[in-house]
Amino acid sequence: MINTPYFPVDKLKEEETPLYYYDLHLLDETLDAIKEAAHYPNFHVHYAVKANSNPEILQRIAAAGLGADTVSLGEIRAAVTAGFPAPKIVFAGVGKTDIEITTALQYGIGCFNVESAAELDVIEQLAAGMGIKAPVALRVNPEIDAHTHHYITTGLAENKFGIALTMVETLVERCVKSESLDFKGFHFHIGSQVTDLTPFKILCERINDLQEKFADVEIPWINVGGGLGIDYDNPDENPIPDFKTYFNIFHDNLKLRPGQQVHFELGRAVVAQCGSLITRVVYVKEGIGKKFVIVDGGMTALIRPALYQAHHKIENITTSSDVTEKYDVVGPICESSDVFGTDEILPVTKRGDLIALRSAGAYGEIMASGYNCRPLPGSIFSR
């Protein structure tokens, strides 16, 4: 039975806010659900470290047996420290530096997801210098609209990510001929917070077409990226995403070759629902025709509302009074975009109450900043 988050309010009251509270039971149940849904022996799930690299969270995900998807040397180091075996680490990103590439080669990571011809040149040269073969997959831009916020869509021609379909052939040839490159296959990622799953079906069709074009090339694996969305409006009703439907789309629609392996890179769907930002009401302010609840954590603690107009469910976890009021819930930062919600119906709220911003486990703590010289939020865990 799925547990809905239980906030240990008495304990949280003693803590310095803002801070992130992680429900590790829910994380474990989510990891179990992933393993069950991705049970096909040729399916390999990597966790996108960018979503949350809190060491406690990373260690738990590594212990569950997932691989890691990384985008910087810092993330590779965090993944290795948390216990992800290097061969289960993949490395993407449009701007990999020489030192990042060399160190990743030394670690013996599983694959570089290569984003351009220029990057392929550098990886080849550095691997040749070390007398080894670099495992590479070409990140192909599949030109699919993931119907998500334009800041988090990645698979369109206008985006900086991936290699244009028209350029793929030349680069595959180069990989196959190279003494210093070990061609693993193709990598894709269409965008994030994808809730209508049709784009994933379209992705499968694109992949099938692409594979047909390279009938005589050995393609050991296909990496379909991440992107599965979560239910921000109803975190208690849907604490665990529908992993079964998601993985079965790939199982049912990809035309795989014998022995071909499929890799996934899920971030948000793994960790979003297990985390909440806990923040304290500093003032309740009477405005003109409205009331503001001013909390001590703002866009520096959780930037998603300010950056993507995202909405995280807001709850007063101190009081459960039936008497409600309408509030704008805002942070203390000197920016007009520092707003968590407008016209939120909450129990009558007072100074000192604790407010939870739900579904903040992904792209929350990791995107916090020190703007306005504010300290980074801490974290505590359910046991």
Which parts of this chain interact with ligand LLP (CB under 6 A)? Answer: 48, 51, 69, 92, 152, 154, 189, 192-193, 225-228, 265-269, 304, 308, 363
Task: Give the nearer residue to ligand LLP in terms of CB position, either 152 or 254.
Answer: 152
Query: Distance between CA 193 and CA 148 in Å, rounded?
Result: 7
Q: How far is the CB of 254 from ligand LLP (least distance, A)?
A: 17
Least distance from ligand LLP to the Cβ atom of residue 28, Å: 19
Exposure string for 77-113, b = 16+ CB within 10 A, e = fewer: ebbbebebeeebbbbbbeebeeebbbebbebebbbbb
The Cα angle at residue 17 between residues 30 and 337, in degrees rounded to 5:
85
Q: Which two tokens stand for residue 97?
A: 């530096």
**CA–CA distance, 177 with 73 (Å, rounded to integer):** 28
Amino acid 226 reads: G
Q: How far is the CB of 154 from ligand LLP (least distance, A)?
A: 6
What is the closest distance, in whole angstroms, from the C-beta atom of residue 351 to ligand LLP in the complex?
Answer: 30
Distance CA 371, CA 95 (A): 25
Task: Using alpha carbons, select from 214, 226, 223, 227 the residue that is nearest to residue 262.
Answer: 223
Q: Which is closer to ligand LLP, CB of 54 or CB of 192?
A: 192
| Smallest separation (angstroms) from ligand LLP to the CB of 125 | 24
User: What residues contact residue 263 under an 8 Å CB cut-off, 6+ apart?
Assistant: 44, 45, 46, 67, 90, 187, 221, 222, 223, 224
As a whole number of angstroms, the distance between CA 270 and CA 250 comes to 18
Q: Among residues 183 and 232, whose Cβ is nearest to ligand LLP?
A: 232
* Minimum CB distance to ligand LLP smaller for 241 or for 332: 241
Residue 187 — φ and ψ, nearest 5°? -125, 145
d(CA 38, CA 247): 6
Minimal distance, residue 349 CB to ligand LLP, in Å: 26
Nearer to ligand LLP by Cβ, of 18 and 227: the residue is: 227
72 vs 178, which CB is nearer to ligand LLP?
A: 72
Smaller CB separation from ligand LLP, 91 or 327:
91
Rounded to the nearest whole angstrom, what is the least distance from the CB of residue 308 to ligand LLP in the complex? 6
